[in-house]
Homo-oligomer: A and B are copies of this chain.
Amino acid sequence: MEQVVRLAHGAGGVETSQILEELLFSRLEERLKRVEGGVGVDFPDDAAAIPIGGGRYLVITVDSYTVNPPFFPGGDIGVLAASGSINDVLMMGGKPIALLDAIVVEEGFPMDDLRRIVDSMTRVLRDEGVALIGGDFKVMPRGQLDKIVIATVGVGVAERLILDKPRPGDKIIVSGYLGDHGAVILARQMGIVEEGQGGGLASDVRPLTRLMLPLVEKYGEYIHAARDPTRGGLAMVLNDWAKASGTVIVVDEAAVPIRPQVAAYANMMGIDPLALASEGAAVLAVDPAVADEVLEFVRGLGFKDAAAVGEVRSSERYKGYVLLRTVVGGLRILEPPRGDLVPRIC
């Protein structure tokens, strides 16, 4: 194994899966991978689940948000931390009810900035009717932490879990434009756009409650997988799904909604826009019997750019792979993202 931790290990792609498997999951006994009857690290998904009786589950998730810069066009680390954890609860089929947060800041961090960040978090809580039930606050000496890191815990309740198990025949639906968040953070980190400027780019960060709650209520049984494509973008989500379900997923490149300016910046920076993070979009695997109806329903909820972008198939030869039907017509393998191009994307 390697001698030191590299940026790629934390990028949410192939190397992250490898380091977690090698250091942690492979060394943990089966009985310690979940609460009995629930979902834990034994199943790759957005969140964990604990049965609480009456056929219900408590859904719980934690993420550390390290985004740099903490203020960006379209949002800040406070909105991101609250929305990201709410979205992970939603993608598991849960109704978010509470958050906890553990904030660590650098000594000398401007109090006004901290206030803006906390206000952003509480604004999301207020809009969503989600309670803040606990947390932690620590300060690290100057030079030992760059600005701020926020760990956020999302808690929800689910009557029916969405476990990510796409089936052959399912249609892949995305709720709107992809890659907006990743493009703007990357452009800021590379100095392509200046502070306070978006260069036509803005993060899509927002909670997806208005999408997921009505969708789960009406079509829950037909949603075979749901994930928000954060680190690693659509490419990572679909590769995870194909690998875990032993299917092949075929994506139609021309159908994936990417804003022209996102595509242009991605090209300029040499990155596949399909690997860029979104923070306010969902990817769904939907039973073909209702897929057209679901797409219309999603658009009717205000997600007018939602699109069907591909489908799940069975294939002995390509099982575990994602195939991209390119705009010029051929099929190529869409690899899971590797490397460390965008540290501190979320």
Contact = CB atoms under 8 A, between A and B. Distances in A.
Interface of A: 1-11, 16, 19-20, 23-24, 27-29, 31-35, 38-41, 47-48, 50, 52-54, 58, 60-64, 66, 68, 97-98, 100-112, 114-115, 118-119, 122, 125-126, 129-141, 143-146, 149, 151, 153, 155, 340, 343-344
B35 A66 contact: no
Given A1-B111, A64-B151, A344-B140, A126 B29 contact: yes
A39 B100 CA distance: 12
A132 B32 contact: yes
Residue from A133, A137, A139 with most neighbouring chain B CB atoms (10 Å)? A133
A35 B97 contact: yes
B28 A136 contact: no
A208 to B, nearest CB: 19
A139 B32 contact: no
Given A41-B135, A50-B155, 14 more contacts: A9-B137, A9-B139, A10-B105, A31-B131, A35-B97, A40-B134, A48-B133, A58-B58, A60-B133, A62-B102, A64-B103, A64-B104, A100-B153, A102-B151
Contacts of A343: 107, 139-141
A3 B109 CA distance: 9
A97 B19 CA distance: 25
A126 B60 contact: no
Copy number in the complex reads: 2
A145 B103 CA distance: 14
A40 B146 CA distance: 30
A114 B32 contact: no
A140 B66 contact: yes
A69 B159 CA distance: 44
16 contacts: A3-B111, A5-B106, A6-B107, A10-B139, A23-B118, A27-B122, A28-B132, A29-B126, A31-B131, A32-B129, A33-B133, A40-B98, A66-B138, A143-B146, A144-B145, A144-B344
Contacts of A1: 111
A156 to B, nearest CB: 10
Contacts of A146: 140, 143-145
A124 B37 CA distance: 22
A199 B230 CA distance: 47
A294 to B, nearest CB: 28
A131 B32 contact: yes
A47 B122 contact: no
A64 B102 contact: yes
B5 A35 contact: no
Given A10-B105, A39-B133, A137-B16, A60 B155 contact: yes
Nearest to A19: B137
